[in-house]
A and B are shown apart, each in its own frame.
Chain A
Amino acid sequence: MSVKRITYKEALEEICKGLGDEEFQRGLRTGVRNAEGKFLKILDAHPELRELASMVEDAKKKVISNLEHYIDMAMESLKKVHAKPYFAHTAEEAREIVAKIIGRGKTIVFSKSMVAEEIQLQHYLEELGNEVWETDTGEFLIRLAGSKPMHTTAPAIHLSRQKAIELLRKKLGIKLPDNAMHEEIVGAIRKFLREKFAKADIGISGGNALAADTGSIILVENEGNIRLVTGYPPVHIAVISVEKILPTFPVALAAAIVQAAWAGLYPPTYLNVISGPSSTSDIERKRVYGAHGPQEVHVVLVDNGRVEAAKHPVLSGQLKCIKCGRCQWECPVWQQTANLWGGPVYGGPMGMGWTAITLGLRDAAELSMLCLGCGRCDEVCPVHVPLSSIIHWLKQQYTGEGE
């Protein structure tokens, strides 16, 4: 199974269509109006977050300059907390590792993960005969619509209430009135997914950060679905890309906090820490794994181009990214196109570098030609990913006039 590529021409055609699509534009405009500049208000009220961001940036640099070492360290720490670590060099390897853990005929609940999207995990598991449910509301709707996520933290930004109602009725037979309000729609989704949570054999999550020294996975969220995905089924599988590794537990927490703040969600409703499977030793001091939470925690570390990129003079800068999506909200092109300007998974300013790393230089180079070079993304990135320089370098790869 190969990932579908998107050429410049296809992207530009989609963009032109998107510009003329009233519903798409309306959704996007509303989303952008609420989100643009939001981090500035948060930073005004909590100036200490800037310090936290620069701490995260420094730690990220340290990890990138010695990525393989930190991968080893994280794997060792995961073992110490009785989690099972795996290292997957390619997307294919990652899919196979997960498939092997799961087998067939299982019910799986997912919490939105860009890297799962990147390695096309959901499709793959479905093809193997598993029942797969995405539980993040936005991602859930996107899946029903059969479209791709339009923003890193707000995937369904372009879908209207009307469209959501239509999807739930048509695809799932859920009864909703024409004029159902937001609360009613969310309630219907909750009710529908409760059942899936209860019968799920496996929960699959991503990870906002992974502490190399303790093997702790950090996950930040507002919906509460991640708590259920990672806490309710007997088996939890975390699929985490290797650049999410941070040297220590405190700085891993900091990365998740910074991610939430720059995403405009501060304080986040939930901050989850998972260091191995649940356990108890309340009966005769005998340690038993699998108390109220999962009995098994598997952690699949995904490389998919990152280890190589870490050694690259330009692309290594992208690995600092904590995927907060801020550069997307502030980009004048993205504000009109969302991830239509992007590859199959990653779009907008950060999407150019990530597409180059995880999919291929050629694809990213073509798309990068639509960048204005205005530098607004550089200005807002919490960890100073040199976005416009990366994109400018990609343009040089496109024209073949790089030096």
Chain B
Amino acid sequence: MVIEAREIVSMIKDSMEQRGLPLPVSREAIYEWSRGLGLPSSGDYLLYTGGLYQLLPYIESLVIQLEKVGKSSVGGFALKLAKKVMKVVDVSKLVSKPDKEAKKYSEQVLQSIARLLSAASISFYYDPELDGYSGALLYDMGLLKSFRRHAERVYEAFRSRGVRRIVTIDPHTTHMLRSVYPKVLSGYELEVRSYLELLAENLDKLRFKTSSAGPVVIHDPCLYARFENVIEEPRKLLSAAGYDVKEPRRSRRLTYCCGGPVESLAPSLSKRIAMNRVEELMEYASTIVTLCPICYANLHRVAPRNVRVADISVLLSERLE
């Protein structure tokens, strides 16, 4: 049983129009991680998470639902189920059941990033009201008009608050804000840096443990490697933190996709691509470093138990003095 692309596309579009997020999730889910952390409310760089890490636990439970659809052979029933999964009526169900493990992990990542930025003495601030989603999925699916409308709203919010500099934490949001927004918005002027770039520039301020931390294999995300030229930074950081960074056969500009972008349209295909990648990476080390929440979710889902898939922020912050 396959679902028409049109169904999925319109579900995502509806959700975006209703709440500015690709999934029917409450806005609170985007900023609740910051509660009680005492993050600065002013500084040079606005920390804009783009919400992808926060959406991870919801994507996890969604993919489980979609896989059920894929396995089902009764057309009418499967389609109803697919619609139900995304329909706003059932938001409560979905939202009340984000994948627990993934939720814990995404919080750990976000907190690690904040910790690293502070440790490198980077002047940043967080504003829960300004945080949100870049619209990446709209762009990727060819919903250009919807994307532009969304981007306009996001940018308008930045402008009205006088935001000039932004630090991003994932490749999708970095790519949208740095390379795609300028193409679709007129008069767009924002300095956009990935936190990995800022950390690498301020490497001398980071105090890492001096002991060796063992081998890790790096999985470059497509957007960082091929579109944003964030290639050396993660390597520099990991090495400084004591890791022995292994290069897989397909790395840097020729890195391999995790399969994530088609996970909603063709879950079985997406999974197969992820498996193909994990098999390759495993040959180099039993810890796989990801730099993107989508990569993390896809590779983690198919990795065997004895393989650790870990976000770079977690690996780095583990090594802070």
Residues on A facing B (Cβ under 8 Å): 8-9, 12-13, 15-16, 19, 37, 330, 332-333, 335-337, 366, 368-376, 378-380, 392-399, 401-403
Contact = CB atoms under 8 A, between A and B. Distances in A.
**10 shortest A-B CB distances, which residue pairs?**
A395-B142, A374-B257, A396-B142, A374-B222, A369-B5, A401-B145, A12-B2, A372-B261, A375-B226, A332-B257
A399 B222 CA distance: 24
A370 B265 contact: yes
Given A19-B268, A19-B269, A332-B276, A399 B9 contact: yes
B259 interface: yes
A15 B266 contact: yes
A373 B276 contact: no
Name the prevailing secondary structure of the B interface residues.
helix
Contacts, number: 108
Interface of B: 2, 4-5, 9, 70, 140-148, 222, 226-227, 249-250, 253-257, 259-262, 265-266, 268-269, 272-273, 276-277
A9 B276 contact: no
B128 to A, nearest CB: 30
B140 A373 contact: yes
A37 B250 CA distance: 9
Name the prevailing secondary structure of the A interface residues.
helix
A370 B142 contact: no
Contact of B144 (A9, A19, A402): A402
Nearest to B267: A16
Contact of A16 (B2, B147, B276, B277): B2
Given A379-B254, A392-B142, A395-B142, A12 B227 contact: no
Contacts of A392: 142
A8 B75 CA distance: 16
B144 A403 contact: yes
B117 to A, nearest CB: 28
A37 B142 contact: no
Given A332-B257, A379-B253, A15 B269 contact: yes
A19 B274 CA distance: 13
Contacts of B273: 332-333, 335-336, 372
B265 A369 contact: yes
B261 A373 contact: yes
Which among B261, B265, B277 has the greatest number of chain A C-beta atoms within 10 A? B261
Nearest to B147: A401
Given A370-B262, A396-B144, A335 B276 contact: yes
